[in-house]
Amino acid sequence: MIYADVVVDNNTDATDELYSYASDIEDLRPGMKVKVPFSVHNRMTDAYVARVTDSAPEGVKRFKKIAEADPDTSLTEEAMDTALWLRNRCLCRYIEAVKLFLPANTDVKRRTKDPFADIDAAPDAPPGLNGEQKAALERIAESMDAEKHEAFLLHGVTGSGKTEVYLRVAGKAAEKGKGTIVLVPEIALTPQTVSRFVARFGKDSVAVLHSRLTAAQRTVEYRRIESGQVKLVIGARSAVFAPFSSIGAIIIDEEHETSYKSEKSPRYDAAEVALKRCMKHGAVLVLGSATPSVTDYYRSETGIYKRIEMLERYNSVPLPEVKIVDMGAEVRSGNLGLFSEALEDAVRKTLAAKKQVILFLNRRGYSSFVSCRECGYVVKCGECGISMAYHKDEEACICHYCGRRVPVPRVCPECGSRLIGRFGTGTQQVEEKAAELFPEAKIERLDLDALKKKGELEAVLKRFGSGKTDILIGTQIVAKGLDFSNVELVGIMSADITLNIPDFRSAERCFQLLTQAAGRSGRGSERGKVIIQTCQPDEAAVTEAAKQDYRAFYDHEIKIRRSVQYPPFSDIFRILVSDEDPEKAERSADRCAAWLRRKLPEGVYVLGPAKTTLLKVDGMFRYQMLIKVPAGRRREISGTVSELRTVYAKAKDTAKLMSVDVNPYSMI
């Protein structure tokens, strides 16, 4: 007789523990899916084996027995080990962590659409490598040949040829019979990245995993990976859980992107999961970016990551020429429009030269908000409590958090004034003004509002890539990883939007977004141009982005982080309490904060509780507190926070929801 601890497939706090069972099943191992009699009614329930031992757990005299094993579904032992680690790492439930490694439970007998159907990639031969690419590949290959786990930060300027290094690393892993996972930050980038890898390795060797696949498609791809049919997986965040039995490399492109952190439970960080899996497999982790996160660059400074730098563009063309335009000065000179004189003139010259333009504004809609000039009333979402954006094409005010729509008021609901109007700028307004200024140009918009039809994203990018579109206007989608050789000009309509987010990372995000957007220019044979419009021309994030000087920005930012003890010098735990009743939410948050202050050791600080910046979302009022934990003490404090979750679940008269996020990327 052997004994096993299992994770029961029951997603509640009440059953979030390991249960011990006896078994006489041969070859029982961690990761196997089994059926067990559960609860007082002995209802047959799915479960997953976490641990197997020959000895009965102490203090238990009677054991129920595992009924049977499922021969068709299981995790590898490494996957189960990672799931158990993840449960403690991000304070989620056991079953939530386990299910990250599993496909949807879908019948795939019926025909499913090939996820590569829209991928058009002719076979290509590997190009020659320049000196920096050769040096980078040799350093990574050295670890792969020794089958030694190492983590590399590949810091390469935009257009330096990082993707070709990724291709060579994947090829080397395949030669060794091992799998490679390639993560990209946006689903929008998946087709372009897949095309590059399919052209090199062929469709039969590549699988794709992302949230736009149907459940059936995802299951088919999962089984192709699990059976060993493919050695390469490309996808967004969740692809890090691809069921390879042997991993040679995990590559995370644009590693600084916040989309690699899940905002829903389990709130995992894909880079942390990738590092854990690579350690177990003796694989290499490659984190690539032109603008690494401050935390990861600090890790490369301290030796946790090995830093490899590629500071020249692959095509030897200099980085784009960047000009900062002070929009305050434009207003003072009488120009009240969206386009500065410099940007309007540059667009005209670019179009005359038969080159393409990207205009970037990180705010969709037509106007930011609708307000009364008489009394200051602002149209807000009744569910979320935040200002609603005006969308001209629908003649409606829309909440960008919950999607709620209301008609645009003709008079102010508060004071009855007719002086109610639209303020701020969104991508729709930029599109309208561009069409007015450049009537002969073919203009398209790339944001969530313009991509309502399935396949429209790929279609817009395909038209732009083929030269059918002259001007592409978009939100941050257009700033990430797009590679079009005919783009000569990038216009950044307002650098201030990202800079003024109430978050300690706002300067970092502003620098990254400006640098990445600028990097879409001049990727062909001619030097590109970038114009940054801003009302804060002297901010370090703006001036250093204009110079494309990452090191200068990092040196400035790391001093600030050290002085206030923000990451990487600490870990931040965000505890969020929510309820439809604002008083209950506030009261519960106060109780949580008081409990933590009694339990936490000296040197660990609780900030708050306080109202969140977005107080009301989806009808729930939200209060938060932050725990600032000195670096190196995360595991110790995780235990205390986990205890709080247990106490909270058992307490009476508490707010409906409490969630925990470790090192969140959003605090609003």
Give the dihedral of Cα atoms 421, 423, 428, 431; nearest 10 deg: 110
Residue-level pLDDT at 366: 44
Residue predicted with more confidence, 364 or 317:
317
Amino acid, res. 27:
D
Confidence of residue 328 (pLDDT cuts 50, 70, 90): confident
Residue 98 CA to residue 90 CA, distance in Å, equals: 13
Phi then psi for residue 493, to 5 deg, are: -65, -35
If we measure between CA atoms, which residue out of 448, 362, 354 comes closest to residue 403? 448
Measured from the Cβ of residue 336, the count of other Cβ atoms closer than 10 Å reads 7
pLDDT at residue 579 in the model: 95
Per-residue confidence (pLDDT) for residue 638, from 0 to 100: 94
DSSP-assigned letter for residue 15: G
Q: Does the model's pTM come out above 0.85?
A: yes
Query: What phi, psi does 76 have (nearest 5°)?
Result: -70, 160
What are the pLDDT digits (tens) for 51-69? Answer: 999 888 777 778 899 999 9
454-493 pLDDT tens trace? 777 778 888 998 999 999 998 877 776 677 889 999 999 8
Report domain extents, the chain.
2-99, 131-310, 321-364+427-560, 366-425, 570-662
Over residues 212-232, the mean pLDDT reads 90
**Mapping DSSP to helix (H, G, I), strand (E, B) and coil, where does residue 642 land?**
helix
pLDDT tens column, 169-209? 999 999 999 999 999 987 766 777 888 899 999 989 999 99
Per the CB < 8 A criterion, the answer to whether 515 and 371 are in contact is: no
CATH topology of domain 321-364+427-560: Rossmann fold (3.40.50)
Residue 399 main-chain phi, psi, to 5 deg:
-85, 125
Give the gyration radius of the chain's Cα atoms.
27
The Cα angle at residue 36 between residues 35 and 42, in degrees rounded to 5: 130
Sequence-ordered alpha helix ranges (H) in 227-293: 270-281
Architecture of the domain whose range is 131-310: 3-Layer(aba) Sandwich (3.40)
The pLDDT-based confidence of 363 (bands split at 50, 70, 90) is low
* Mean pLDDT, range 393-405, rounded to an integer: 73
Is 285 a residue whose pLDDT tops 60? yes
pLDDT of 499 strictly over 80: no
Superfamily of domain 570-662: Ribosomal protein S10 (3.30.70.600)
Considering the chain, what percentage of its residues have pLDDT values greater than 70? 91
Beta strands 150-156 and 306-310 are: parallel
- Tell me the pLDDT tens digit for each residue of 105-154: 655 565 677 777 667 677 788 889 999 999 999 999 999 999 999 999 99
Average pLDDT across the chain, whole number: 88
**Non-local CB neighbours of 163 within 8 Å, separated by 6+ positions:** 193, 196, 253, 483
The predicted model gives 515-524 an average pLDDT of 84
DSSP 482-518: ---TTEEEEEES-THHHHTSSSTTHHHHHHHHHHHHH
pLDDT in tens, 611-640: 887 788 888 999 999 999 999 999 999 999
Of 278, 280, 240, 232, the C-alpha closest to 262 is 240
Position with higher pLDDT, 284 vs 412: 284
Spatial neighbors of 398 by CB under 8 A, at least 6 apart, are: 365, 388, 389, 391, 404, 405
CA distances from 658 to 505, 534, 617 (A): 24, 39, 14
- Give me 311's structure tokens: 């500071």
What is the CB neighbour count within 10 angstroms for residue 264? Answer: 9
User: Residue 385: its pLDDT value, please?
Assistant: 57
| pLDDT confidence bin for 422, thresholds 50/70/90 | low
pLDDT at 381 over 80: no
Q: Which amino acid is at 286?
A: V
* CATH code assigned to 2-99: 3.40.1440.60
Residues 218-246 have a mean pLDDT of 94
Q: Which pair of structure tokens corresponds to residue 76? A: 């590898």
Distance CA 435, CA 441 (A): 7
Q: Do domains 131-310 and 321-364+427-560 have the same CATH topology?
A: yes
What average pLDDT score do residues 261-277 get?
95
**DSSP string for residues in 189-238:** GHHHHHHHHHHHH-GGGEEEE-TTS-HHHHHHHHHHHHTTS-SEEEESGG
Give me the mean pLDDT over the 535-553 stretch.
Answer: 91
